[in-house]
Amino acid sequence: MANVWRDRFFADDTVRQSNVRGTIAFAMTGPNTRTTQLYISLIDNTRLDAQGFAPIGRVIEGMPVVDSLYAGYGESSGGGVRAGRQAPLFTGGNAYLDRTYPKLDRLIRMTIIDRR
């Protein structure tokens, strides 16, 4: 799926909330370059607000589960979208991740709750 979206982007949202611990936002390389990659802030990342990272949600239950995800690879399991080292991920997909990063966790399912 990442390869399908590799050269397709969608416009940014306005930053209306701060990137604090537990918020969810799209990774991007610059303005209007969001694709399919999301991240959960494990710490307060308010420095990202000025860079245009607009939170689209928040973990409201289960943050201890997020904290327990395997972190041993750090950013080396992709290097972050801005590092530009994700070509093997785009060409190899989940098979590449499973082979190269066997301890990497992944989301299988999540539920979106509208709290408006």
Distance, first Cα to last Cα, the chain: 30
Nearest 5°: CA angle at 20, between 11 and 112? 60
pLDDT of residue 77: 58
Pairing between β-strand 38-40 and β-strand 23-26 as defined by DSSP bridges: antiparallel
AA letter at 115:
R
Report the mean per-residue pLDDT for the chain.
85
pLDDT above 70: percentage of residues in the chain: 89
Domain annotation for the chain: domains and CATH numbers:
2-100 (2.40.100.10)
How long is the chain?
116
Q: Comparing 28 with 84, which gets the higher pLDDT?
A: 28
**pTM, whole model, 2 decimals?**
0.78
